[in-house]
Amino acid sequence: MQETDPLIFKYLDIKDEGGLNLKLEPAPAGYADLFDRPVMLKKLDLELDFSVGVDTILLEGRVSAELEMECARCAEPLTRSFEDTFDEVYPDTVEYIDTREVIRETIGLLAPIKVLCSDSCKGRCLVCGTNRNRQSCACKAEKASPLEALKGLRVEKQEKPGKKDI
């Protein structure tokens, strides 16, 4: 156990103090592995509030982050802020309270699956790749039928089992 890690706390120290409230700004580089490109963590703020119970300590936390991402339609870069909360209960049987994993999980869940630069984003042309938010193009995308691939398919009739010609 790394006692010098700023996210690991001694249970008895928190209990003796009657609680603990912290605001931290960890380096975003320490959490860079949580996101796949093109998502990048730019800024990170943590608030940790430890409350002492009879035989437990409650941790209520808040994670605020600034993420740099790409629009899902036009692939232009954008930066958005996200925030989430978490809570954990630690029994008096633990010597240390290690908050690293719950913080990593919360940060990792911040990025949405799909983000748009605006609700009215027109995306990119499927033919020439032009960003249609900036300029229009004369391309006409063919609308293929989803059943087009089945056009040339031939199915052979099979005899039904149990039927015989007499």
The answer as to whether 160 is a domain residue is no
Structural domain count of the chain = 1
The boundaries of the domain holding residue 38 are 8-135
**Chain segment 122-143, per-residue pLDDT in tens:** 999 988 899 999 999 888 866 6
Give the percent of the chain with pLDDT over 90. Answer: 69
The DSSP secondary-structure symbol of 55 reads S
The answer as to whether 13 is a domain residue is yes
Q: What is the DSSP code string of 81-117?
A: EEEEEEEEEEETT-SEEE-HHHHHHHHHT-S-S---S
**Chain segment 36-95, per-residue pLDDT in tens:** 888 999 999 999 999 999 999 999 999 999 999 999 999 999 999 999 999 999 999 999
